[in-house]
Chain A
Amino acid sequence: DGGITQSPKYLFRKEGQNVTLSCEQNLNHDAMYWYRQDPGQGLRLIYYSQIVNDFQKGDIAEGYSVSREKKESFPLTVTSAQKNPTAFYLCASSINRSGKNTGELFFGEGSRLTVL
């Protein structure tokens, strides 16, 4: 079945450590996104990529890094520079908006990161 796979689902890390969250999609979507969600808050955009080997900062990119070496993969690294990394991280993908395509986002199940 086509979809978006995020791993790990739960992750614990110590302060000062970098951690990489995986996101893989087999929907053949061009665009991929990373969002962060804090309790009781909306989704905030961290980074997005509309094409392989290109990505753009979102609203809260500081302390995060990404790569887009393959169409299917868009890993997110949470670096030690991120002041408050404990959150729920959601990866999404979409066909670029054009013609009948609305640009609807399809989400993975999320990764919950806790910094101890």
Chain B
Amino acid sequence: GQNIDQPTEMTATEGAIVQINCTYQTSGFNGLFWYQQHAGEAPTFLSYNVLDGLEEKGRFSSFLSRSKGYSYLLLKELQMKDSASYPCAPQTGANNLFFGTGTRLTVIP
């Protein structure tokens, strides 16, 4: 079966750094996606990791450890518009994405 564990909610201050963790157990694994979803909207792509290590992309970075079944998303210089849900989504051997519930991030002034 598939199982994903992320914190349900997090709060951080504007300008700060926040790390959102994701642990997963899946049958088959090709890579892991992070998406951003604002309330009532469709998810938008943030990052993709297939190899172990850190991928940096502007204010957003994502890390993967395949052996540990662990990933995190790092958001720097937080802005109010970063308030959203952040689901991690392992990509299984069937070429499908299995989405976690997501971590609801609230950025406060």
Q: Identify the A interface with B (CB < 8 A).
A: 31, 33, 35, 40-45, 48, 50, 58, 88, 90, 96-97, 102-110
A-B contact pairs, 18 of them (CB 8 A): A31-B95, A33-B96, A42-B87, A44-B99, A90-B43, A96-B95, A97-B30, A97-B95, A102-B33, A102-B50, A103-B31, A103-B91, A103-B95, A104-B33, A106-B45, A107-B42, A107-B43, A109-B42
Tell me, rounded to whole Å, the shortest Cβ–Cβ distance linking A99 to chain B. 12
Contact residues in B for A104 (Cβ distance below 8 Å) = 33, 45, 48
Contact residues in A for B98 (Cβ distance below 8 Å) = 45
Instruction: Number of B interface residues at 8 Å Cβ cutoff, please give it.
Output: 22
Q: Is the C-beta of B18 less than 8 angstroms from some C-beta in chain A?
A: no
Q: Identify the B interface with A (CB < 8 A).
A: 4, 30-31, 33, 40-45, 48, 50, 87, 91, 95-102
Judged by DSSP, the binding face of B is loop
Contact residues in A for B44 (Cβ distance below 8 Å) = 107
**Assembly CA distance A43 to B87 (angstroms):** 9
Tell me the nearest residue of chain B to A112, going by C-beta. Answer: B40
B100 touches A42 (CB 8 A): yes
**Assembly CA distance A111 to B64 (angstroms):** 33
